[in-house]
Structure 1
Amino acid sequence: MKLQNGASAPTGSACLKKATELFYVTHPKATRALLGPFLSQADAECGRVVLRSADAMVTACLVDSLDELTYWHAVNNGQVCRAFAGADREGVSHE
């Protein structure tokens, strides 16, 4: 284990990132999240737009740690949903 930013984290490719929140797109008729994880609420909002459902909503989930695979999955989800929602062309913030 290596000390990073005052917290211990394993070294190597599975290095944990300091986490705060992950965002998901949910729907009352679904038993689990339809889209996610996302790193920002703005990206999740793009996902909500892509679903084209008035009942879809963005929810946040606090996490203790975020592994590298989940982090890159969330980055990719944000890029894809921004592209489908047209947000990249409209200058919507990615953060």
Structure 2
Amino acid sequence: MSERNGALAPTGSACSKKATELFYVTHPKVERALLGPFLSQAAAECGLVILRSADAVVTACIIDSLDELTYWHAVNNGQVCRAFAGSNVPEVSHG
């Protein structure tokens, strides 16, 4: 954190990450995504393994930009789903 105008302000870039798509696990009987966001289709497919529903599918959503909170949420979702699925899916680099 740095001080700006007498108040603490976060340091670092406010620029969005370079993702162009986010992936979600959806089900036709549910309006909203059940799992997600994910940074990769492979990570979302681990969510399919966890969900164990033949009707669930991975869907992609094209995005213009990705804020820090959503990026780290997607990173965490991928790590958790890979852990529960017991998968050897490689992580997306956090660069």
TM-score of the pair, normalised by structure 2:
0.79
- Superposed CA RMSD in Å reads 1.6
Query: Pairwise mapping of residues 50-69 of structure 1 onto structure 2 (< 5 A)?
Result: 50-69=50-69
Percent of aligned pairs sharing the same letter? 83
More helix by share: 1
3-state secondary structure, aligned to 2:15: coil
For 1:94, the equivalent position in structure 2 comes to 91
Q: As a proportion of its length, which structure holds more strand?
A: 1
Please state whether the residue corresponding to 1:18 is helix, strand or coil: coil
Q: Secondary structure at the match of 2:32?
A: coil
Structure 1 equivalent of residue 85 of structure 2: 85
Q: What does the per-residue CA deviation read over 1:3-26, in whole Å, with 9 as the maximum and x for residues that have no partner?
A: xxxxxxxx7464311221100000
Q: CA deviation at 1:51?
A: 0.5
For 1:25, the equivalent position in structure 2 comes to 25
Higher-Rg structure is 2
TM-score by length of 1: 0.79
Query: Which consecutive unaligned segments of at least 5 residues does structure 2 have?
Result: 1-10
What are the residue-to-residue correspondences of 1:37-52 with 2, within 5 Å? 37-52=37-52
Moved more, 12-21 or 25-34: 12-21
CA contact (8 A) 2:19 2:39 kept: no
CA distance in 2, matches of 1:17, 1:76: 15
Give 3-state SS (helix, strand or coil) of 2:50's partner: helix
Q: Which runs of 5+ in 1 are unaligned?
A: 1-10
Runs (4+) of structure 1 exceeding 2 A deviation are 11-15, 91-95
